[in-house]
Amino acid sequence: MALLDTAAPIRWEAQMLMVPLTPDSGVTAAMNPTNLPFPAMNEPLCRVKSVIQHAGIRPPIMNGPMHPRPLVALLDGRDCTVEMPILKDVATVAFCDAQSTQEIHEKVLNEAVGALMYHTITLTREDLEKFKALRIIVRIGSGFDNIDIKSAGDLGIAVCNVPAASVEETADSTMCHILNLYRRTTWLHQALREGTRVQSVEQIREVASGAARIRGETLGIIGLGRVGQAVALRAKTFGFNVIFYDPYLSDGIERALGLQRVSTLQDLLFHSDCVTLHCSLNEHNHHLINDFTIKQMRQGAFLVNTARGGLVDEKALAQALKEGRIRGAALDVHESEPFSFSQGALKDAPNLICTPHAAWYSEQASIEMREEAAREIRRAITGRIPDSLKNCVNKEHLTAATHWASMDPGVVHPELNGAAYSLARTRWAAEYHLSLPRRTASSNWCQIAALH
């Protein structure tokens, strides 16, 4: 079985340049190698083509002098001034300012290969399937619970985040909330704004009722990632005894940081005077703080959440605040955002501080976060997906076809004999090389296949 001659890719490239636009999508047929004209193929090659087509392989990212710059879209924002200097020479950047995929322009749905997004839009599998050419999503921030990362992987879309950009800001905001709860600064300010006259010791005692000393109190941290560790170090300087619960963290870090580790969530809730949440949100910990776990907390404990709103059952929290089982709570994140005091279970809850999911924000952090997100998009366009990506969170979910395509060329596909696999690989190499600038066509055929 003879291999294809080395001149074939060049001839097919000439054919490719004459292929017209696909009428329904606005994407050139060159962006979908499965639409290119093929000479007759034998049965093993047809099987390989079928495997690749049915595995959800997406069009490659075109990048080179023979192709227009790929489209990258900011889905839920308007300002691209930070991203443009990083992407302008490799991509066309657009913004959508959308709150759902129904508000996204058809051109973006059909042609965008990259998407940048904050936390104000949600992408389910149904939403992801609307994007015809999308290869990478970068969440401008650390959390990615608003993206169905498994479905994205099934569709051949890499999902990345920016985990380290706002650690300091979030940790500082968490400590501000903790200090506010203990020293009741917010309520003292509010009393004066409302015209309360505070002069005598009795009046001070009345308006500051509930204020507590920090030194010697126990702070319980659920989730000791980057933010959790930063909070722990800050809390120790204020005199807190710090304990933490994190079943995913390897042993030893507690000794390095001088913390105490507990083995169960129940132990942490029982021993903590203040509980602060710093874990991601997933299907296993939704409503981690609920009526049952609140009853396991110390009577009169504080609760702080700057992680994800879905971690706390707000109805159960409101009831606990009204009954005094929880002395006070501070929430920067909420089950429904944007948050409004006029709606939801918390509208009548006492001793509650709420902020609008802004714990992460500072001007410096925002710029750093956006720059790193843009650099991740650039790595996807100029390199290989997922190998070139720095913070891909769904590698394990990317399609089997993607994995097969990025395997060592010497590995034989289990459904084909060695000769058929070698011929199939060479054939698809030729087709995929049509979509690459000449500098990559001579090296590893897997490069384009890995981009799918």
Instruction: Please list the active-site residues.
Output: 308, 337, 357
Q: Tokens in use for 98?
A: 């959308």
- CA dist 148 and 102 (Å) reads 17
> How do the residues of the chain divide into helix, strand and coil, expressed in percent and rounded to 5?
40, 15, 45
> What is the rounded CA–CA span in Å between residue 262 and residue 222?
10
**Angle at the Cα of 27 from the Cα atoms of 26 and 32, rounded to 5 degrees:** 150
CB half-sphere exposure, 450, CA atoms < 13 A: 19
Pairing of strands 218-222, 326-331: unpaired
Spatial separation of the C-alpha atoms in residues 17 and 19, rounded to whole Å = 6
Measured over the CA atoms of residue 21, residue 27, residue 30 and residue 34, the dihedral's sign is negative
Alpha-carbon gap, residue 321 to 76, rounded angstroms: 35
CA dist 43 → 49, 56, 398, 415 (Å): 10, 21, 27, 12
Whose CA is closest to 43, among 399, 416, 404? 416
HEC readout, 251-301: CCHHHHHCCEECCCHHHHHHHCCEEEECCCCCCCCCCCECHHHHHCCCCCE
CA dist 251 and 124 (Å) reads 35
Q: State the alpha helices, DSSP H only, in 286-389.
A: 291-295, 314-323, 363-382
Distance CA 10, CA 14 (A): 7
Reading the block at residue 213, the tokens are 């000393």
- Listed in order, strand segments (DSSP E) in 150-285 are 158-160, 218-222, 241-245, 260-261, 274-277
Q: Are 421 and 412 in contact (CB under 8 A)?
A: yes
Strand partners, 114: 72, 136
Element holding 173 (H helix, E strand): helix 167-183
Determine how many CB atoms are found less than 10 A away from the CB of residue 198: 14
Strands (E), 16-135: 71-74, 92-95, 112-117
